[in-house]
Structure formats: structure tokens, C-alpha cells
Amino acid sequence: MSAGPVLEIRDLHCVYGRKIRALKGVSLEIGRGEIVALIGNNGAGKTTLLKTVAGQLKPERGQVLFEGRSMVGRASFEIVRQGIALVPEGRRIFPRLSVVENLEMGAYWRRGADLSREMAHVFELFPVLGKRRAQLGGTLSGGEQQMLAIGRAMMAAPRLLMLDEPSMGLAPIVVDRVFEIIERINREGVTVFLVEQNARRALSLAARAYVLETGLICGCGAACDLMADSSVQKAYLGL
Ligand SMILES: Nc1ncnc2c1ncn2[C@@H]1O[C@H](COP(=O)(O)OP(=O)(O)OP(=O)(O)O)[C@@H](O)[C@H]1O
Ligand SMILES: [Mg+2]
């Protein structure tokens, strides 16, 4: 294991088609054990960044290093196997699969292997999923579906957990619950990269954050400093 950052993104460029330049040279670093947030408005490029790290999109140029090893060009399942798991925007659970089957999909390349330890850990993090293990994913509440999406990512026993807008569409009290669990997962040693439009929530959980605006990082620093910054307050905190 390298002593450097867990995740290092260098000068990442992404285009959709020929014209839509979603990322225009993004660089950032996440250290071991950190919770780092990425905040930005609609269309800033947050999801594009996470999908690129996860191997679901191919960058035009730039580097993604995980524990010092390049991830660019690797298949997404290979990146999960290396230790990076993504909780996608909109949760993307499988509505017609049961809770247990959804969880198994988080480690699908280990099909047939004994996943009972990972599953027991997920049920410890989310007791409600244990109670509903046979229920179809599509019949869970929004909060439960978010928990299932996080649980599915945890089945891969990641060292870096990336979450794309986990608070989206959830009642404040449910967001509290989800964020408590993210914090607990982090305390257990997992590095967290949290993408949120809900800047207030993200900056209260993270120690450090980056601000993304139309494909470029336009700010970074300690979360408390960003929270006190008047331009951040105006653009992202509605003050
Ligand atoms: N599949 C796609 N094809 C073409 N353009 C896309 C595609 N996905 C995203 N874009 C464009 O790329 C830019 C960045 O989009 P992205 O989804 O990464 O933003 P985001 O920060 O995640 O936004 P949101 O907060 O709404 O989720 C936007 O201009 C968007 O319209
Ligand atoms: Mg998005």
C-alpha cells in the first residue's frame, strides 16, 4: 500500500460526444481515512467525475490513481475489485430483486463465494435491511432504498466509498440517519468521497471539500472555512 493519497485525480477531461465538455481539467486528492465532499450545482460535472473514477466513463485525458495505481482504462468491475465502490445517483437498486439479491449484486464477480460476512456487516449497519431481506427492492421506501444502495456498495468491502447525492429526495430525518451511517462506515476505516448538491449537509459531515463549477474546481479547503466563505454561502448555502 502506498503512503500517498488514496485517490488522486490529475487534470481530468471528459466530453460527451464532441461538444459537451463536462470536465475541463479537474485535479484533486483524497487522503486515507478522510471524508471529502464535492459540492456543485446542477450540471457541474459531479456525476461525470464519479462515473469516470468508477470506470463507467472513459476520460478524454487525465489520470485517476487509486493507492498509486492507474484506474483509467480498467473495466468497472475491476475497479470495484481494486477497492472503489460507487453508490450511484438515484440509487439504481434492482426493483424486482429481493434485498438479499440486490446486496449480492454488489459483489457479483464473487458469485457463488461465501458472502455471509459482508452481508452480516451490512445488516449490522442497516438492521432494517435484515428485517426486510426477502422484500423486493422496488417496494422499499426511499430511505430504505438509499440504505440498500449503500449496503450493496459495502458488499464489495471497499477502501474508498463514493456516494453520489445520497440525500436526494429524502426527508431531513432520514438524511440524518444516512449521514450517521456514512460517518460510522468512515470510522471503521473506509475513506469517503461524498458528492452533494446539499452543500450544507455535505460540509457538516466532511472535513474537507472541493467546489466544482461547470467542469472546473473553483474552490477547496477545510469544510468549516468553506462554510464561512461568503461566495460559497451565497452560491451554495442560500445565505
Ligand atoms: N449522457 C450524457 N450525454 C450528454 N451530456 C451529458 C450526459 N451526462 C451528463 N451530460 C452533461 O454533462 C454536464 C455534467 O453533467 P453531470 O451529470 O456530471 O452533472 P452533475 O454535477 O452530476 O449534476 P446534478 O447535480 O444535476 O446531478 C451537464 O452539462 C450535462 O448536461
Ligand atoms: Mg449528478
The b/e string for 204-221 (b: 16+ C-beta within 10 A; e otherwise) is: ebbebbbbbeebebebbe
Looking up cell 453520489 gives 164
State if residue 203 touches ligand 1 by the CB under 6 angstroms criterion: no
State if residue 76 touches ligand 1 by the CB under 6 angstroms criterion: no
Q: Nearest ligand, CA of residue 215?
A: 1
E strand map for 32-167:
35-39, 61-66, 69-70, 84-87, 160-164
55-111 confidence digits (pLDDT tens): 999 999 999 999 999 999 999 999 999 999 999 999 999 999 999 999 999 998 887
Q: Tell me the average pLDDT across 207-227.
A: 96
Ligand 1 atom with least separation from CA of 51: 18
By the 8 A CB rule, do 236 and 211 touch?
Answer: yes
Q: Nearest ligand, CA of residue 197?
A: 1
Parse the chain into domains and list their residue ranges.
7-236
Whether the predicted pLDDT of 200 surpasses 70: yes
Q: Tell me the average pLDDT across 174-185.
A: 97
CATH of region 7-236: 3.40.50.300
Ligand 1 atom with least separation from CA of 48: 18
Q: Tell me the average pLDDT across 4-28.
A: 96
The b/e string for 133-142 (b: 16+ C-beta within 10 A; e otherwise) is: eeebbeebee
**CA atoms of 6 and 10, how far apart (whole Å):** 13
With vertex at residue 67, the alpha carbon angle to CA 65 and CA 71, rounded to the nearest 5 degrees, is 35
